[in-house]
Amino acid sequence: MNASPSHRPHPAEWTETQSLLPSAERDLPAGRHQFHKEQMMARIHEDLRTSSRTSGTSPVAPVKRSNPFLRRTILLPAAAFALAGAVAGGLALTGGGTPGGKTALATGPALTTRIGVADPKGAPQLLERISLAAADTSAPTPRKGQYIYIASKVADTYIKTEGDKSEVVSDELHSRQVWNSLDGRDGWLIEAGKTSDKGITLKGDTPFSGAYNALAALPTDPDTLLQQIYRESDAVRDPEVPRDQAAFAAIGDLLNASYPPAEVGAALYKAAAKIPGVVAVNDAVDATGRHGVAIARENDGERIEWIFDKKTLRFLGQRIVVVKATADDPLKVGTVTHTSAITERAVVDGNKQLPGQAS
């Protein structure tokens, strides 16, 4: 893969979390509020549970893992809203310490950006070049017992509600470190403002299917791979999210939060080229300010952008940008609802071990 780089509930969890839906989070037009709230979940590793958000404490229970294609923009109406309610209620919105050894995140004005020009005709050629770059890699092949380490910088924009007053704010850019065993049964997460400063375990009986071993087993024929992505996402996606957008979002999450083998990464890009509505974007900026070109797809006024270095075509990160105004939507054109930048992706010998650190 050419990259140097969310809580997602199992469908069975939807019913039990539905009662947590806060009424204040229903003030966006149908189809848009889900997308916005799901992006808040992007700050949290796909396995982080929301069970203790209302008390402000860090979750400590082992988390369960599920299908790699069950992603934020596919199936998170209930749990995403539950976290949105906690955030809107004032958790982790100001600087300083919080219970459980967790440092809260400060907030500021909404993140905004210049919108790059989209070129539908340029997407196939750009994705072909990106696929070739992904296949031509010297990245090491992990060995049994090793872990995948991904460090990133992330930030989100959301609607903060206090009493009867709502405003659009962004949390400060903050760090996330994730470790995952190759079989996906063990791991660790440290995320500023979201876990304790020491982090939480990601151990679970059900393996994280986005883990290396599961990705290595995916088909490398682009048509076969895309059909599998469609089947998996069709089974679980929210009806308000079109199947093509769900498939695009699923691929983006695999590229952003996992470590696909080179041949699988190349196949994912070729599969993305077959999704209707995919465009190339001449300029996009990741969370750390690196400019690049992007592969993107728009749905309901928001555009998911995968950002690549203009010269090497290395994957830098992804962001979601409001590109069209919608009536009664407080998120204006140019608002960045989520941004991320992969700062390091490596194979390490043990859980919680840093790259270059002796085992």
Chain centroid to Cα 156, Å, comes to 11
Print the domain residue range for 277. Answer: 13-348
Residues of the chain with pLDDT under 50: 3-99
Buried b (16+ CB within 10 A) or exposed e, 71-82: bbbbbbbbbbbb
Q: 């007053």: which residue's tokens?
A: 165
Q: Is residue 356 part of a domain?
A: no
Residue 53, helix vs strand vs coil: helix
Nearest to 27 by CA among 155, 159, 138: 159
Q: Which residues contact 263 (CB under 8 A, 6 or more apart)?
A: 135, 220
DSSP per-residue codes, 212-247: HHHHHTS--SHHHHHHHHHHHHHTT--TTS-HHHHH
Q: What is the pLDDT of residue 178?
A: 95
Q: 231 in the Ramachandran plot: left (φ > 0), alpha (ψ -120 to 50) or beta?
A: alpha
Q: Is residue 8 part of a domain?
A: no
Q: What is the pLDDT of residue 313?
A: 97
Alpha-carbon distances, residue 291 vs 94, 150, 196, 288 (angstroms)? 30, 21, 32, 9
Considering its fold, how many domains does the chain have in total?
1
How do beta strands 200-201 and 102-103 pair?
unpaired
Q: What is the pLDDT of residue 249?
A: 93
Q: Is residue 300 part of a domain?
A: yes
Q: Is residue 353 part of a domain?
A: no
Q: Is residue 244 part of a domain?
A: yes
pTM of this structure: 0.75
Q: Is residue 1 part of a domain?
A: no
Q: 């995968």: which residue's tokens?
A: 306
First to last CA, the chain: 25
Q: Render pLDDT for 164-195 as a digit per residue (tens, 0 to 9).
A: 888 999 999 999 999 999 999 999 999 998 89
Nearest to 251 by CA among 270, 236, 237, 234: 270
Q: What is the pLDDT of residue 14?
A: 25
Buried b (16+ CB within 10 A) or exposed e, 347-357: bbeebbbeeee
Q: 């407080």: which residue's tokens?
A: 330
Element containing residue 284 per DSSP (H, E): strand 279-285
Q: What is the pLDDT of residue 48?
A: 36
Q: Is residue 172 part of a domain?
A: yes
Helices (H), 151-292: 212-216, 222-234, 243-257, 262-272
Nearest to 245 by CA among 80, 42, 73, 36: 73
Q: What is the pLDDT of residue 235?
A: 85
Secondary-structure percent of the chain, ordered helix, strand, coil, rounded to 5: 30, 25, 45
Q: Is residue 141 part of a domain?
A: yes
